[in-house]
Amino acid sequence: MKTISTDNSHGGTQGVYVNRSEVCDCDMTFAVFLPPQAKGRKLPVLWYLSGLTCTHANVMDKGEYRRLAAELGIVIVCPDTSPRGDAVPDEPDNWQFGKGAGFYVDATEPPFAQNYRMYSYVVDELPQLIAAEFPVDMTRQGIFGHSMGGHGAITIALKNPERFSSCSAFAPISHPSVSGWSKPAFQKYLGSDEKNWRAHDACSLIEDGHRFPEFLVDQGTADSFLEDGLRPEELRQACETAGISLRLRMQEGYGHSYFFISTFMEDHLRWHARRLGD
């Protein structure tokens, strides 16, 4: 692990780091905010997964999480959204696929299978590095994210309920195997057999018996991707059928940007803090 930068913020430290990822076969950049309490003890950790076209930096620059994370004593980890580098296959003119659009899956189709293994990176490789290098209590982990990252957070929590104490999302892609802006990516990453997509689709995972105690989801009513891309009502129906507690808050007039995310960031941090506890 190499340190790219560190800056003091709210008594803590916002750092940016890079590691050579074995699973993604490239260098991966990530951000970690350490609150001031980290100087004396291990703290709970909250993973934030970003959306399409983003890097680790979008939420770091615009998410407005540090003041409250410092108050609550929570470490915030922000991975990148995809592998990077000249050797990584990409479709530069397609913002819904390739670099910036890893969808938190492990690709099985060439040429993407060599690098696009974001599920294994976020679930296995990066947590091992974070546990070794930072003062975190890995028995107290939460996960949240936005859009593609909301999809990633919910699916990862559903598949790893023993690891995470909390999960929330801003405008998640709830049913990506049928969504117009994610179905083509799934086909390229995971192949044409749609049965293989179910392991990376929140609604399908719930239908197939995966469970998580509760979710908090905020969704803007003025989000231009609401009906086709995000489909929150389908997540609501899946959770109701399965008996999963879902607090779906439709936020009047809000869109899909970080103006929306930063407005409700405090609610999400406090919600996670109550579940991560001491």
Residues designated catalytic: 147, 223, 256
DSSP string for residues in 173-194:
---TTT-TTTHHHHHHHH-S-G
Q: What tokens appear for 257 in the block?
A: 């940007």
Give me the half-sphere count of Cα atoms (radius 13 Å) on the Cβ side of residue 167. Answer: 26
For residue 174, give the nearest of 207, 152, 151 by alpha carbon. Answer: 151
Q: What tokens appear for 146 in the block?
A: 């936005």
CA 173 vs. chain centroid, Å, equals 11
Separation of alpha carbons 125 and 247, rounded Å: 31
Separation of alpha carbons 256 and 146, rounded Å: 9
Separation of alpha carbons 261 and 254, rounded Å: 9
Please report, as a single letter, which amino acid is at residue 38: A
Plot region of 220 (φ>0 → left; ψ -120 to 50 → alpha; else → beta) = beta
For residue 153, give the nearest of 191, 202, 120 by alpha carbon. Answer: 202
Q: What are phi and psi of 96, to 5 degrees?
A: -100, 10
Quick check: 144 and 268 in contact, CB under 8 A?
yes
